[in-house]
Structure 1
Amino acid sequence: MNSLKNLPVLPEASLRILAAINTPEIPIDKLADALSLSPSLVARLLGLANSAYFARGRNVADIRTAIFQVLGLDLVKALAMAIILNVVFDTRKCQGFDAEHFWLRSLTTAVSAQKLAVEIPQLREFTPSTIYSGGLLLNIGVLVLGYLQPDELHGILIDCKNNRLSVAQEISRQMGQSHYQIGYFLLHKWQLPMLYQLLLKNYENKYFEGMEQPLLVLLRICQRLSAAVIAGEPINPLEFELECRQIELPLENILELAEQLPENQPAMQKLAAIMGH
C-alpha cells in the first residue's frame, strides 16, 4: 500500500483526454481535438482503425474519419481510456508479464459483456460503451503491480504458471490486497467515473445489492468465459447457471458466444498487440 502512494500523476494532456472521454454526448470534433493532444494515442487508434478487424480494405488517415466512419464514438472512448492507462504503466521490467495476453483477456471480456448485455433487461440503463469500458478496466490493477512491483509480480506469475494457481488469488495472498482493490485505488486517485470505481471496489463482494449488481454479475461471467475460451478449455454451462438466473440471461447465450469468440480470436490478438505495444 505504501508503494501505491507513488502512483504517477497523469500528464495534463491525459487528464484533458480523459475528461473528454467521460463527457456524455461530446461532439466528434471536440473529442478528436482532445485526442490529438497525444500523438502516440492517435497513432494507436489509427493503427486499430486500419487493422483488418475494422478497416475492411479502407485506408484511414485521420482521427476524425477513424471515429466517424470506422471505430465509432463509444468504442474510441473505451479504447482511448485503456491505451492511456497502458502507456502510463510501463510493465517491461516485469519479465513474466505478457502485455498482449493481458489485453487479449481484457478485450475478450469487454466484447463478451457488451454482446451478452443486449439480452439482459436489467442492464438497459447502461450504455454499450460503459459496459465495454467496465470490462476493459477490470484487471487494471495488474498493470499497476507490473509497474510498481515488477519483481514481485514476476514471481507470482511464474509460481502460477508452474503450479497452475490462480493469479488473482496469489496476488491477494502475497500482496495482502486483491488487484481489484489496487485498481480501485488507482481509479479513485485519478477521479475516473464513479461507476468504474464502484465495479472494482465491489467486484469480489458477492453480497453487493446496488443498482450496478447485474453488471457486476455479468462481468464475473465474462471474465471466466474469456479465460476458458482463450485457454481453449471446454465450457461447462452448469458453472454459469446460478449467475445467469440472477440476471435473467439464457444459458444458451453463453454457449453461442463461446462458439463465436474463437472465430474472432485472431483479429482480437491483432488488436491486443497494438494496444499492448
Structure 2
Amino acid sequence: ALKLLRLSNSTVYNRGEQCDSIKKAVLRIGGSQIKQAVMNLSVIDQFSCSDAMGGLDTKHFWEHAIACGLIAGRLAKPRGDEFADSAMTMGLLHDIGRMILAHAAPDEYRQVLETARSMELPLEQVEKRMLMMDHAEVMDRILRTWQFPKALFNPIVFHHLSAGNIRRTVPQESQEAATLALANCLAHAMLLGSSGNETIYPIEDLCDMLRLDPKQLLAIEREVPDETSDLKFSMLSRSDLGSWTERDAEWADAFGCEFRPLVVSLKPEFDSIRILCERLKDPMQVGKPNIALVRIRNARDRVPVGQALVDAERAAGVENLPVIAISAGGELALEHGLVSKRVNRNMRIPFAMSRLVRTVREVLEEQERTLSAAA
C-alpha cells in the first residue's frame, strides 16, 4: 500500500496535490491501470531481495528496467494511453528473464556475465552460447505462468531483434516490438542503470521504423533521467537505495583522461553515440574537442560524413582531430585522404562500453605521442 501511494505521487502520475490515501491513489492511477501497477510492484518486490543475484546488481537492474518502461511509455503515448500503459509494463519486465536465470543458476550466470565482460560482447549473445537460451526466450513461458496479458509476450521475447527482423518475425506486433526495442537501446545509451549488459546499440533503423519525431526523442533525453530517479524511489524499498551509484558518472570516471568528443553523423538526432556522449559530458568541463567519433551507417555515407566532420571541426575551431569511425561491421572508414594525417581507429557497433573506453585511451595516447614526436 505504501509503495502504491509513493507511485501515485511520483512524477509519472503526480497532478499537483499529494495523494494521502489508497482510494486517492487508485483514482489517480486509474482503474484500468491499477491491476497492472500492483502486478508490476509485486514482480519488483520478488526480485529485489538482495544487492547481487548471480552477479547482477539488483539496484542497477531495476533502474534500467524503470528507465526502459518510462521511455517505452513515452514512445507509445501518441497511440493512446492504453498502448502507453502496456509499453511501460513491457519495459519494466523486459529483462526479468535475466533475474530468473541468475536465481536458478547463480554460479553459471555469474560465468556468463564474466565472459560477456571479458570478451566485450552483448550479454544476450553469450547467454545463448553458454546456456542455449537467452533471457528473452525464458520470458515466453514465465509470462504465461504469471498470466500476464498475451499482448506483452512477443514484444518482450523479441526485443533484441533488429528493425528488419522485427518486421519479418512479428509483423502483426511490429510497432509494439520496435517500441520496446528502441526503449531498451535508449536506456543503454543514456546509461540509466544496467541489466548486466554494458552494450551500446544503434537506433537509427528503429527510429525510422517508428517514424519518430526528433522532438519526442529530445524530450525523452531531457526528462526521463529525472523521472527514473523519482520513480525508483517510489517503486523500490527505500532501504535498498542508500548506496546507489550513477552509471554515467562511473563510466565518465573510467576514461581516466580528458574526453571531449566531437560526435558526427548524418542523423545526429537519432544517433545513440551522440546521446551517450551527452550523458558522459561533464558540465564543468571546458576546452575544445580532442577526439572525433563519427558514425558511418553504410559505404555511401563515407564522403558526406567526412565533409560533415570537416565542417564540424571548423565550427569548433579545431582540425585533424584523432578519429574513431563506428560502423556495423567495424570495417568502414573515412576516405584515405581525410585520415592519412590523423590517428584513427575503426570500431563496430553494437559495442561494449569497456571497448569504447579502451579505444579512446589508445587513440588519445597515440595522438599525444605523435604530437610530442612532431614538436
> Structure 2 length as normaliser, TM-score?
0.52
User: Which amino acid in 2 is paired with 1:155?
Assistant: Q
1:163: Cα distance to partner? 5.2
1:244 counterpart residue number: 207
**Separation in 2, partners of 1:252, 1:50:** 27
Name 2:61's counterpart in structure 1.
Answer: 102
Using the TM superposition, give the Cα deviation of residue 52 of structure 1 relative to its aligned residue in structure 2, in angstroms. 7.8
Is 1:81 the equivalent of 2:42? no
Q: 1:152 aligns with which of 108, 123, 127?
A: 108
Residues 29-48 of structure 1: matches in 2 within 5 Å?
A: 42-48=1-7
Distance 1:154 1:213, change over 3 A: same
Instruction: Give the match's secondary structure for 1:191.
Output: coil
| Structure 2, unpaired ranges of 5+ | 194-200, 241-375
TM-fit CA distance, 1:224: 0.6
Partner of 1:274: 237
Per-residue CA shift, 1:41-72, capped at 9, x if unaligned? Answer: x3432343466876767362x42222114x44
Q: Distance in 2 between matches of 1:163 and 1:72?
A: 46
Counterpart of 2:75, as a letter, is L
**Is the 8 Å Cα contact of residues 105 and 226 (structure 1) preserved in structure 2?**
yes
**Paired residue for 1:68, among 12, 27, 31?**
27
What do the CA deviations read for 1:173-218 (whole angstroms, capped 9, x no partner)? 2111010110112112333221112223343353224321111111
Is 1:110–1:136's contact at 8 Å kept on the other side of the alignment?
yes
Name the one with the larger strand percent.
2
2: CA distance, partners of 1:259 / 1:198: 30
Q: Name the aligned partner's letter for residue 104 of structure 2.
A: L
The aligned length equals 226
**8 Å Cα contact 1:100/1:269 also seen in 2:** no
Distance 1:275 1:53, change over 3 A: farther
Superposition CA RMSD, Å: 3.2
Change (3 A) 1:52 1:202: closer
Contact 2:70-2:224 at 8 Å conserved across structures: no
Q: Give, in angstroms, the shift of residue 134 of structure 1.
A: 1.7
Q: Can you list the C-alpha shifts for 1:233-273, whole angstroms capped at 9, x where unaligned?
A: xxxxx933322222221234223311222333431332353
Identify if the C-alpha distance between structure 1 residues 105 and 63 changes in structure 2 by more than 3 Å, giving closer, same or farther: same
Larger helix fraction of residues: 1
Tell me which residue corresponds to 1:12: none
Q: Is the 8 A contact 1:91 1:97 kept in 2?
A: no
Which residue of 127, 130, 140 corresponds with 2:96? 140
Sequence identity of aligned pairs in percent?
Answer: 21
Whether the 8 Å contact between 1:101 and 1:272 is mirrored in structure 2 is no
Cα pair 2:19 2:25 within 8 Å, conserved: no
Separation (CA, whole Å) in 2 of partners of 1:167 and 1:276: 29
Contact 1:139–1:179 (CA under 8 A) maintained in structure 2: yes
SS state at 1:230 partner: coil
CA deviation after TM superposition for structure 1 residue 161, in Å: 4.5
